[in-house]
């Protein structure tokens, strides 16, 4: 190699080294996480999902990149929460019903009329159940990050049902879960377990006379047209959960884990619930404008419903098995503490 060629080569190498030094250390590629949600577009849940993804990206300073897939793009709740447990999807937001597919004991939180008021329920969730729920999810390979919210469930049909004795002998759509039939059998109805995809057709064909449904799903799924009378039993105000594959969470640097937790805490359970409940008010107004009706219960009427349901709780706890007895005691202890406030 000639002197001139060697000099040119040295100069080019030196220039490259200087350029790298000027640019500073090479930034690591962000950890990409897939987030699954069944939230329909332009709903409060879609907004909450997209906000959480943005907050995680921001608080991790770009170390984490969450890609949110709403509207069941990655599959149904039932499918995707199982995939998170297996590590095929990273994280997601779910109803308690879906969470109970992984942690069956969670279904006890969906017992009809379990809580006397939303205030008591919120207190029990926030002050008494976070650690127990986190522990149960951890045993199943999931990291419980915080609470989401689904909302209020009521009885729907073509006529009002202000008293439970009106359910005797009627055909009722039940959730296809262990606890699904309890609301109906307690009052003499004949439950028929059906997936949500068959609700409307079942009402139209006469296969079922009555069902219970979340206010928001009821309106947006078109059930308000085939079962236009909503009886505001408010027997369930279903919660939700944010979960992540635990192995994936544990592999993250501590700073990234902290960013994940801080992002959830930026809009905690009380905020999630307030937003969903405000959305429900608007949805109820939509239902009335569409020609539907809402029948309110008096406190005395609701007490009759609750008293009739309470006798089935013990059998439900036994049917769930696992850690149900322990979890039930924690729920009851929380209720007693919160009712005193």
Query: Is residue 16 assigned to a domain?
Result: no
φ, ψ of residue 208 to 5 degrees: the values are -130, 150
Per-residue pLDDT tens digits for 63-95: 999 999 999 999 988 899 999 999 999 999 999
Pairing mode, if any, of strands 142-157 and 210-214? antiparallel
Q: Which residue, 18, 57, 19, is CA-closest to 35?
A: 57
CA–CA distance from 334 to each of 36, 41, 127, 151, 329 (Å)? Answer: 31, 35, 8, 20, 8
Chain-wide mean pLDDT for the chain?
Answer: 89
Per-residue confidence band for 10, with pLDDT thresholds at 50, 70 and 90:
very low
Q: How far apart are CA 18 and CA 45, in angstroms?
A: 50
Question: Which segment of 50-54, 193-197, 290-294, 304-308 scores lowest on mean pLDDT?
Answer: 193-197
pLDDT given at position 175: 81
Number of domains in the chain: 1
Query: Is residue 61 assigned to a domain?
Result: yes
| CB-CB contact of 175 with 107 (8 Å) | no
Pairing mode, if any, of strands 210-214 and 64-69? unpaired
pLDDT given at position 27: 52
Per-residue confidence band for 267, with pLDDT thresholds at 50, 70 and 90:
very high
Q: How far apart are CA 136 and CA 144, in angstroms?
A: 9
- CATH number of the domain at 238, please: 3.40.190.170
Query: Is residue 161 assigned to a domain?
Result: yes
Q: How far apart are CA 131 and CA 264, in angstroms?
A: 16
Q: How far apart are CA 207 and CA 199, in angstroms?
A: 9
- Predicted structure pTM score: 0.85
Per-residue confidence band for 268, with pLDDT thresholds at 50, 70 and 90:
very high
Q: How far apart are CA 225 and CA 274, in angstroms?
A: 27
Per-residue pLDDT tens digits for 284-323: 999 999 999 999 999 999 999 999 999 889 888 988 888 9
| CB-CB contact of 230 with 155 (8 Å) | yes
| CB-CB contact of 78 with 208 (8 Å) | no
Per-residue pLDDT tens digits for 200-223: 889 999 999 999 988 888 888 888
Query: Is residue 147 assigned to a domain?
Result: yes
- How large is the average pLDDT for residues 244-271? 96
Q: How far apart are CA 45 and CA 50, in angstroms?
A: 9
Residue with the bigger pLDDT between 46 and 341: it is 46
- How large is the average pLDDT for residues 130-136? 97
DSSP letter at 110 equals G
Question: Which segment of 39-48, 59-68, 227-236 scores lowest on mean pLDDT?
Answer: 39-48
Query: Is residue 10 assigned to a domain?
Result: no
Query: Is residue 334 assigned to a domain?
Result: yes
Which domain, by its residues, includes 100? 29-339
| Token pair 């919210």 in the structure block, residue | 149
Q: Which residue, 48, 153, 113, 154, is CA-closest to 313?
A: 113
Q: How far apart are CA 231 and CA 327, in angstroms?
A: 31
Query: Is residue 23 assigned to a domain?
Result: no
| CB-CB contact of 203 with 223 (8 Å) | yes
Question: Which segment of 1-15, 70-84, 97-111, 244-258 scores lowest on mean pLDDT?
Answer: 1-15
Query: Is residue 6 assigned to a domain?
Result: no
Pairing mode, if any, of strands 229-245 and 293-296? parallel
Helix (H) or strand (E) segment spanning residue 318: helix 313-320
**DSSP-based three-state secondary structure for 41:** coil
Q: Is the pLDDT of residue 22 over 70?
A: no
| Token pair 């202000």 in the structure block, residue | 162
Q: At what angle do helices 269-289 and 44-59 cross, to 10 degrees?
A: 150
| CB-CB contact of 68 with 50 (8 Å) | yes
């Amino acid at each position: 190699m000639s002197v001139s060629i060697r000099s040119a080569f040295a100069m080019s190498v030196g220039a490259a080294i200087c350029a790298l030094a000027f640019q500073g250390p090479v930034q690591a590629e962000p950890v990409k996480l897939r987030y699954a949600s069944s939230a329909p577009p332009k709903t409060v849940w879609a907004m909450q999902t997209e906000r959480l993804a943005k907050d995680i990206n921001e608080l991790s300073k770009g170390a984490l990149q969450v890609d949110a897939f709403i509207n069941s793009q990655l599959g149904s709740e039932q499918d995707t929460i199982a995939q998170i447990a297996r590590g095929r999807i990273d994280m997601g937001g779910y109803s308690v019903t879906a969470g109970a597919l992984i942690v069956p004991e969670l279904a006890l939180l969906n017992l009809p009329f379990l809580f006397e008021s939303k205030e008591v329920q919120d207190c029990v969730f926030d002050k008494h159940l976070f650690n127990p729920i986190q522990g149960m999810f951890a045993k199943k390979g999931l990291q419980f990050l915080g609470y989401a919210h689904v909302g209020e469930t009521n009885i729907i049909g073509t006529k009002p049902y202000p008293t439970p004795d009106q359910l005797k002998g009627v055909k009722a759509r039940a959730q296809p879960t262990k606890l699904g039939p309890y609301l109906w059998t307690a009052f003499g109805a004949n439950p028929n377990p059906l997936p949500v995809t068959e609700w409307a057709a079942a009402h139209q064909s006469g296969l079922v006379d009555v069902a219970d449904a979340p206010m928001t799903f009821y309106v947006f799924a078109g059930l308000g047209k085939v079962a236009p009378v909503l009886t505001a039993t408010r027997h369930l105000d279903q919660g939700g959960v944010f979960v992540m594959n635990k192995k994936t969470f544990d592999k993250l640097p501590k700073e990234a884990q902290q960013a994940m937790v801080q992002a959830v805490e930026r809009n905690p359970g009380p905020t999630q619930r307030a937003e969903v409940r405000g959305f429900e008010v608007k949805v109820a107004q939509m239902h009335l404008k569409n020609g539907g009706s809402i029948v309110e219960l008096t406190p005395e009427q609701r007490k009759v419903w609750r008293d009739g349901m309470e006798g089935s709780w013990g059998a439900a706890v036994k049917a769930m098995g696992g850690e149900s007895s322990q979890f039930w005691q924690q729920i009851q202890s929380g209720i007693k503490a919160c009712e005193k406030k």
